[in-house]
Structure 1
Amino acid sequence: MKKLLLGFLLFPLLLFGQTKVSGIVKDNFGEPVAFANVIFKDSNEGTITNEEGRFYLESDDTYTTLIFSFIGYAEKELTLTEKTTYNIEITLEEETAALDEVVVYSGKTSKKNNPALDILRKIWENRRENGVKKFNQYSYDKYEKLEFDLNTIDSALIKNRIFKGMEFVFDQVDTSNVTGNTYLPIFINEAFSKVYGDNLLDEEKEILEGNKNSGFENNNTLIAFVKDLYKEYDVYDNYLKFFDKSFTSPLSKTGIDVYNYVLLDSAFRDNKWCYNIVYYPRRKNELTFKGDFWVNDSTWAIKEINLQASKSANVNWVREVYIEQEFDVLNDSIFLLTRDYFLSDFSLRKKEGARGVYGKRTTLYDNYDFDKQKSKDFYKEQVDPYQYEVYNRPDDFWETRRLEKLSKDEKGVYKMLDTLKTVPRFKTLYNVGAVLASGYYEVDNFDIGPVFSVFGFNEAEGLRIRLGGRTYFSQNDPWRIEAFGAYGFRDQRFKFGVSGKWQLDRKSRLNVFGGHRKDVEQTGASLTTSTDVLGRSLASSSLITVGANDRLSRINLTTVGFEVEPSKNFVVRLTGSHRTLESVTDTFSIDYFDEDGNIKSTISQPEIELGFTYTPRRKTSGYGVERTVINDGDFPTIYLGYTYGLKDVIDGDFEYAKLQGLYTQPWNIGGLGKAYTTVEVGKIFDPVPLSLLSPIPGNQTLFSIYNSFNQLDFYEFVSDTYASFHLQHDFGGRIFSRIPFLRKFNLREVIGFRAVYGEISQENIALNASNIVYQAPEDIYYEYSVGIGNIFKIFRLDFNFRGNYLDNPGARKFGVTGIFGFEF
């Protein structure tokens, strides 16, 4: 019965693809031959074997002969007796007779007297003289198709109980022409845009004219995430960034150090004489590709290129990456990109037979136009992020805009997925996935959560239970209300918070907000302060801490304000707040002397804060009162804030001014990994007590928290003037990959350095009546760390060392912290 069902599923596939072959290529010693050429005879259709010598090749045409070849081996032909032939095993014989007559490149190729490298240098010389870079201005049409597919479909999966009642989905099973695995489309999105660019102004603008998807609601975040995952790239760049990793391009000026290059062939490609160069990695575990490209012999422009990521590359959850680009010729000399195909095979395991998900993006370019100037205001003008007609175009719009017709299976996906949404079992599976992804459990139009914040512990509250929720009608809600309640079993007190946000104007993102919170808080957990009513401090709610987590305050906070985004990613925010603070443990005090010399234990303070935040290159999804950042950690953040404290207004105790600035910058350093740096500065211009000063953020949890000092206790240093610097660099396994016995674990090296300088005036010291002994780090405090990342693909362990102030009471000279996270 299983064979009958499988045959039924495969029957239409045999008609769709005329010739399909797969197998493995070995040498006469039984070892796999990596990067060997496999070509249909009398055609330009072919592929190369992977690192295990395996290949898959498919064509819509009918072929009867395969040709196998590799430098140093005799060419071999195989006659195909059937249209579909799987699991072929080919043995190539070494070409011993020709060794004295030709230069043989096998294994590591020479960096000298290699004609492929001479051609590569010509490409470097002309890399900026190709494509749209040759023109002052340009525009073109862009059609993009995104698709997710469940792969490695077999009879066992089809019979799995999880698909009970959903068997109809398997009617859309197809076979990948890259990997040879069967797959089931589960999501599809189409977009048509007009792109304008100006090389003189260094500006580019994309205007979305149509968007169509498979029917899932609230999928804008998924679409935006995938687009960022497959962000556009230029193969001429030294490094190509995918999955937040920098892969060395085979056209890179540093490619000679990480790739082997072989000049394999020369032939006409669309009436242009081109050279064919094969490339493959020199070492394992590096972020490199294998493949080949055709380059024109006069312009030295790329005509065709394919890239397949090395299977040993230190990338999590990604089993396969395959890229194809095709270029067309304009005016006999200019090569313009016309088609870009990108496939990723995501899987929890890299084992060949493991199931996973394909993520595919096909982008086509047409109607190029040049030197039509647009004003600078055109590129700066904000575009409404949502226009109803763009997302509801009729079928005839797509019939004329699609630059590549949908296959029969792709057309069926729309109908299949719309039907799937109505199946109760699918809804249940979808909801479970949503909880794991968002941390919230949906009940009608209300989300309960976040579920990961339910339990906590600190010295004041003991065991703490917290439960909250938010309204959620869609990703693009114009208003939202959030609330939480918490209870501490030691202090036997109930805490709560409620906040609301309302969007008044979508285009300028004019939002108003307000809220109230009564809670226990670890103040001073960060230098750049926040008046977010429902912000959760890990420092005050972590289950396990180092030392006594007792320097906590009871906070009663009310805020109102508004924010606006006058230009993209530039936010202006005005906030009015009032808070009261008092200590909650006998071992911690925020007592201070008032004007009459009396000791007070509670402070009441209203503030007005004006803040400016600029996040260039930030990408977001959604247009409602809240948006989802889809490229977190991939853009700089610049913040400047001015705060004015009011006295004798709403029982205000102090009048003061505070200025703060923050600059965070990620750095992709090509083959050396990725770094993050943060600089923070601040100054309080008038005398204030301990609870209004700027404690240097310590970290007494067992978690590695960026922008805090892991070897400092809370309130160990306090300042009114400060400057801090943080550096964290992830080498991405560049060092461990060169150590044989560590290579297979795909571990990653992380280093960190943190330093802070601070001052505190005598006026502020004189106000202190608390039991806290503190100082300012006038002799710059510093600490450093070394870490091992990617442990079991989800965990990083940091070993932290305190650099100075080792004589401070209770100083922690060494500590270990860790952090969980999902990263590629």
Structure 2
Amino acid sequence: MKKILAVIVLIFIAANSIFGQTKVSGIVVDKLKQPVPYANVVFKNSSIGTVTNEDGRFYMESPNTYTILLITSIGFADKEITLSKTVNYNFTIELSEQQELKEVVIFAGKTSKKNNPALDILRKIWEKKKKNGLYQFSQYQMEKYEKVEFDINSIDSAYRKQKIFKGMEFIFDHVDTSKVTGKTYLPIFINEALVDVYGDNKIPKVKEITKASKTSGFDGNQQILSFIKDLYSDYNIYNNYIALFDKSFTSPLSRTGIDVYNYVLKDSAYIDKKWCYNIVFYPRRKNELTFKGDFWVNDTTFAIKKINMAVTKSANINWVKDIYVEQEFEVLNDSVFLLTKDYLMSDFAFNKKEKSKGVYGKRTTYYQNHKFNVEKPEKFYKEEVNFVDNEIYKKSDEYWEENRFEKLTKDEQGVYKMLDTLKNVQAFKQITSLVTMLASGYVNYGNYDFGPIFSTFGYNEVEGFKTRLGARTYFGPNDPWRVQAFIAYGARDDKFKYGFAGKWMIDKKNRIIISGGNRRDIEQLGSQLTITNDILARNYGSSAFFTTGSNGKLTNIGLTNAYIAIEPVKNLTFQTGVSYKTLESASPVFSLDYYTTLPTAADPAGVVKSTTTQSEFNIQAEYTPNRRTIAYGVERSIANSPYTTLFVNYSQGYKGIMNSDFNYRKLEVYYKQPIIIGPLGRTNLILELGKTFGTVPLGLLSIVPGNQTFFTIENTFSNLNYYEFVTDKYATFQWNHDFNGRIFARIPFMRKLNWREFVGVKAAYGSVSDDNKAINASGLLYTAPEDVYWEYNAGVGNIFKILRIDFSWRGNYLDVPNVNKFAVKASFGFYF
């Protein structure tokens, strides 16, 4: 009898787990069978709902059982659908036009900016936002639990049979269904983290201390997690603009929201014993970076209680089909609304078609145990320069069971085991190796990387077809030392070139690094202004396959250096060292000759030397606030872009040391400032200043950098040839602006192209002293841009999602022979 009773209980529990939930999907149409976008779909007598997308489609899911679906839309009569089952897919719901006006004013199409109660509420939200949540307190601290997951979606029978999954068929035992889209998905990466968060609104500063981190999926977790943190950066819905995927989306709570959104006061109800208004919002125009959705707001504090929003499919963003945001707030002490749950899901895909396959990226964050006005010293918030605690990755399963805010479901627990097993499958290892190779540019074999593969081939007039092979040691991303080298061969000059360098981090805390190396190669001097003595840097001027005009003004360079660097404060680096270099023309059509003895009446030929030999002392400082880096070893990768950069370099040449030829001093300053201007896009400002004190030959002067390739290269002038302007004192300025497609979005026939507009101006001023002109024996006529050279450009980007074309016009110095009055440059890249 007990066994029978136990079976009955198990059946009842199973029934509850299976049927104690509701799933529904479908499309909402009008009487002409046309989709109804932005219709409100809710489970009746609940606050669980969604808004149909631009194709009228929707999907909803709840762990509770509901039997009635309520559909409402502006201009249409409300409609209720009875749900006969717990799982109801592919409904077609037809709405009828509104016959009678209700008590509330109905707004059709674009809502009015006058006499709209929703806008009155919105203005109250603006007024109160600085008095809500964490802003009310001088200091705050809380615990955070964050779970990030990546999943392959739209799994079907045909997908499972693909050859790529041969030997990995067991993974499909863990397919699940998305609560947002209703599509099947297969988890491939999971990370959990427990973090203590501290903030001080007076300073203002925020510090996060990770207590535990657990990952299953791909190896190289630091790189993946850093990429994810940049991909899913923190945001505040109260801000005017929300930064997602390197784009600025207008928040529905923005002070400029009235210009880009329609707002409708849809409902009011008690939520957690607080009377709240429900406001639906949707975009006024297509192609702009906006959301659609709804939020519940309290009627006294005007704090948000709950918000759901999704990026519109017409938004000008690449590789992302859907973005869904859900936030929930809880009430503390009757008046303080604190964020307790933040859910963000994105669907990465090659196109935005409904049936296209892709990858879900999901981040779920919970907050708890808030404390307020516990002041900490300002030095507490100082960032660690190079700190990693490997113990946080070693927490036991029992620790996670006890401390995670949300218990893992049985499916999620199974996924952990599946991913750990998958890492040992050979086919999966091959896939991850291919992904790593494309991302890093190196092919790994054991403890060695070979590459970069993208620098293998090049061409110039001196070397002809050039082949370059490189390698480096690689034991992991946190290597304290690294050695790398390359060898190159030119088919035309029949000569080998080489370079090798090594670096060692002797102090991890302050990143004290010693380095040195040697290189013998051919390169294009004057391809950039502010230069570093990087042994293994690639020179685009001498390695481009195709160029405009002659690119034979090349130099044989021998460079040896030794440096020591330190980072005493996060993102502030100092470096000092010495270098020894020799410079000699590599081409019979180009000369670096200079006079060691000037011509006189007695000796009209003077004494000419062709090789420059120079010893140099160097000290430099670089400050990059807000830059985030990957890994903690001797070499790091950059995790975010853009960020401000300030670089100052001082060099001093010493005559006589190791047969060095010249005494001089050189000061260089480089400053780059990116500025995000909300819906107007992003601006980049670049300023470079420099001066050489002393008499030096052509090889040591500052050349305003031309660009004779067919590709856009930052910090160069598209309409200048190499060596067109020679200076010993210079100032250059560049302004580039990306409108992110805002202008084209207003042009009906161009909206669907999702092209993006770029404009820019570049200017250069410089001079060269009479003494430097006097020792010139190269035959090159020194010309400096004393009248301020300038050029301007306009471009179209996002062509086929990867191509940008810039058209550039020369502003002055038009009478110079063989100048480029007009130039076309291209660039390729994968951008959101």
TM-score after normalising by structure 2: 0.96
Secondary structure at 2:496 match in 1: strand
Q: CA deviation at 1:573?
A: 0.8
Q: CA deviation at 1:382?
A: 2.1
Q: CA deviation at 1:408?
A: 1.9
Matching residue within 596, 616, 631 for 2:625:
616
RMSD: 1.5
Q: Which residue of 1 aligns with 2:568?
A: 566
2:305 pairs with 1:297: no
Closer, same or farther in 2 for the Cα pair 1:17/1:809, shift >3 Å?
Answer: farther
Closer, same or farther in 2 for the Cα pair 1:89/1:13, shift >3 Å?
Answer: farther
**Percent identity over paired residues:** 56
Give the Cα–Cα distance (whole angstroms) in 1 for the partners of residues 353 and 782 of structure 2: 56
Write the mapping of 1:436-451 to structure 2, written as runs, cut at 5 A. Answer: 436-451=438-453
Give the Cα–Cα distance (whole angstroms) in 1 for the partners of residues 17 and 62 of structure 2: 11
Matching residue within 454, 457, 479 for 2:456:
454
Q: CA deviation at 1:774?
A: 2.7
Paired residues of 1:13 and 1:174 also in contact (CA < 8 A): no
Deviation sequence 1:321-345 (CA, Å, 0-9, x none): 0001111111211111111000000
Given residue 673 of structure 2, which amino acid in structure 1 is its aligned partner?
A: Q
Q: CA deviation at 1:12?
A: 12
Deviation sequence 1:512-568 (CA, Å, 0-9, x none): 111111000111111101100000011110000000001110000011111111010
Secondary structure at 2:658 match in 1: coil
Paired residues of 2:462 and 2:554 also in contact (CA < 8 A): yes
Q: Which residue of 2 aligns with 1:5?
A: none
Secondary structure at 2:85 match in 1: coil
Give the Cα–Cα distance (whole angstroms) in 1 for the partners of residues 312 and 510 of structure 2: 45
Matching residue within 166, 185, 188 for 1:186:
188
Paired residues of 1:260 and 1:282 also in contact (CA < 8 A): yes
Paired residues of 2:240 and 2:256 also in contact (CA < 8 A): yes
Write the mapping of 1:456-535 to structure 2, written as runs, cut at 5 A. Answer: 456-535=458-537
Q: Which residue of 1 aligns with 2:670?
A: 662
Q: Which residue of 2 aligns with 1:229?
A: 231
Paired residues of 2:441 and 2:452 also in contact (CA < 8 A): yes
Q: CA deviation at 1:650?
A: 1.3
Closer, same or farther in 2 for the Cα pair 1:384/1:492, shift >3 Å?
Answer: closer
Matching residue within 20, 40, 43 for 2:43:
40
Q: CA deviation at 1:64?
A: 2.0
Paired residues of 1:565 and 1:572 also in contact (CA < 8 A): yes
Q: Which residue of 2 aligns with 1:764?
A: 772
Q: CA deviation at 1:401?
A: 2.5
Given residue 485 of structure 1, which amino acid in structure 2 is its aligned partner?
A: I
Given residue 303 of structure 1, which amino acid in structure 2 is its aligned partner?
A: K
Q: CA deviation at 1:14?
A: 8.9
Paired residues of 1:143 and 1:401 also in contact (CA < 8 A): no
Give the Cα–Cα distance (whole angstroms) in 2 for the partners of residues 47 and 309 of structure 1: 13
Q: CA deviation at 1:103?
A: 2.4
2:28 pairs with 1:20: no
2:652 pairs with 1:644: yes
Matching residue within 633, 636, 639 for 1:630:
639
Q: CA deviation at 1:584?
A: 0.6
Paired residues of 2:793 and 2:808 also in contact (CA < 8 A): yes
Deviation sequence 1:54-90 (CA, Å, 0-9, x none): 0001111222221111232221111222221111000
Give the Cα–Cα distance (whole angstroms) in 1 for the partners of residues 421 and 789 of structure 2: 62
Write the mapping of 1:554-593 to structure 2, written as runs, cut at 5 A. Answer: 554-593=556-595
Deviates more, 1:19-28 or 1:694-703: 19-28
Give the Cα–Cα distance (whole angstroms) in 2 for the partners of residues 13 and 512 of structure 1: 65
Matching residue within 781, 787, 799 for 1:779:
787
Give the Cα–Cα distance (whole angstroms) in 1 for the partners of residues 202 and 22 of structure 2: 49
Secondary structure at 2:134 match in 1: helix
Give the Cα–Cα distance (whole angstroms) in 2 for the partners of residues 63 and 301 of structure 1: 28
Give the Cα–Cα distance (whole angstroms) in 1 for the partners of residues 218 and 162 of structure 2: 24
Q: Which residue of 2 aligns with 1:696?
A: 704
Give the Cα–Cα distance (whole angstroms) in 1 for the partners of residues 192 and 594 of structure 2: 63
Give the Cα–Cα distance (whole angstroms) in 2 for the partners of residues 154 and 174 of structure 1: 12
Q: CA deviation at 1:822?
A: 0.9
Deviates more, 1:787-796 or 1:77-86: 77-86
Give the Cα–Cα distance (whole angstroms) in 2 for the partners of residues 316 and 739 of structure 1: 19
Q: Which residue of 2 aligns with 1:710?
A: 718
Secondary structure at 1:727 match in 2: strand
Q: Which residue of 1 aligns with 2:610?
A: 601
Give the Cα–Cα distance (whole angstroms) in 2 for the partners of residues 657 and 384 of structure 1: 34
Q: Which residue of 1 aligns with 2:388?
A: 386
2:113 pairs with 1:111: yes
Deviates more, 1:686-695 or 1:393-402: 393-402
Q: CA deviation at 1:20?
A: 1.1
Q: CA deviation at 1:383?
A: 6.3
Q: Which residue of 2 aligns with 1:160?
A: 162
Q: Which residue of 2 aligns with 1:219?
A: 221
Structure 2: gaps of 5 or more residues: 1-13, 599-605
Give the Cα–Cα distance (whole angstroms) in 2 for the partners of residues 400 and 811 of structure 1: 72
Closer, same or farther in 2 for the Cα pair 1:68/1:219, shift >3 Å?
Answer: same
Q: Which residue of 1 aligns with 2:55?
A: 52
Give the Cα–Cα distance (whole angstroms) in 1 for the partners of residues 48 and 254 of structure 2: 26
Give the Cα–Cα distance (whole angstroms) in 2 for the partners of residues 172 and 458 of structure 1: 54
Give the Cα–Cα distance (whole angstroms) in 2 for the partners of residues 396 and 128 of structure 1: 41
Secondary structure at 2:657 match in 1: coil
Q: Which residue of 2 aligns with 1:795?
A: 803
Q: CA deviation at 1:244?
A: 0.6
Q: CA deviation at 1:16?
A: 8.1
Paired residues of 2:22 and 2:87 also in contact (CA < 8 A): yes
2:85 pairs with 1:82: yes
Paired residues of 1:479 and 1:500 also in contact (CA < 8 A): yes
Deviation sequence 1:305-329 (CA, Å, 0-9, x none): 1110010000000000000111111
Write the mapping of 1:249-398 to structure 2, written as runs, cut at 5 A. Answer: 249-380=251-382, 382=384, 385-398=387-400
Give the Cα–Cα distance (whole angstroms) in 1 for the partners of residues 750 and 509 of structure 2: 52
Paired residues of 1:13 and 1:175 also in contact (CA < 8 A): no
Q: CA deviation at 1:392?
A: 1.0
Secondary structure at 2:100 match in 1: helix
Give the Cα–Cα distance (whole angstroms) in 1 for the partners of residues 224 and 760 of structure 2: 32
Give the Cα–Cα distance (whole angstroms) in 2 for the partners of residues 30 and 268 of structure 1: 36
Q: CA deviation at 1:491?
A: 0.6
Q: Which residue of 1 aligns with 2:205?
A: 203
Give the Cα–Cα distance (whole angstroms) in 2 for the partners of residues 83 and 330 of structure 1: 35
Q: Which residue of 2 aligns with 1:6?
A: none
Given residue 727 of structure 1, which amino acid in structure 2 is its aligned partner?
A: W
Secondary structure at 1:650 match in 2: helix
Secondary structure at 1:247 match in 2: strand
Paired residues of 1:551 and 1:588 also in contact (CA < 8 A): yes
Deviation sequence 1:793-824 (CA, Å, 0-9, x none): 00100001000001112111001000001100
Given residue 701 of structure 1, which amino acid in structure 2 is its aligned partner?
A: T
Secondary structure at 2:379 match in 1: helix
Give the Cα–Cα distance (whole angstroms) in 1 for the partners of residues 557 and 597 of structure 2: 23
Give the Cα–Cα distance (whole angstroms) in 1 for the partners of residues 709 and 621 of structure 2: 31
Closer, same or farther in 2 for the Cα pair 1:718/1:451, shift >3 Å?
Answer: same
Given residue 278 of structure 2, which amino acid in structure 1 is its aligned partner?
A: N
Paired residues of 2:385 and 2:571 also in contact (CA < 8 A): no
Q: CA deviation at 1:755?
A: 0.4
Give the Cα–Cα distance (whole angstroms) in 2 for the partners of residues 571 and 404 of structure 1: 41
Q: Which residue of 2 aligns with 1:719?
A: 727
Q: CA deviation at 1:217?
A: 2.5
Paired residues of 1:502 and 1:513 also in contact (CA < 8 A): yes
Deviation sequence 1:612-658 (CA, Å, 0-9, x none): 000000011100011111103x2100111111111111111111111
How many residues align structurally? 812
Q: Which residue of 2 aligns with 1:7?
A: none
Secondary structure at 1:97 match in 2: coil
Paired residues of 2:688 and 2:733 also in contact (CA < 8 A): yes
Matching residue within 98, 121, 126 for 1:95:
98
Secondary structure at 1:276 match in 2: strand
Paired residues of 1:211 and 1:391 also in contact (CA < 8 A): yes
Given residue 440 of structure 2, which amino acid in structure 1 is its aligned partner?
A: S
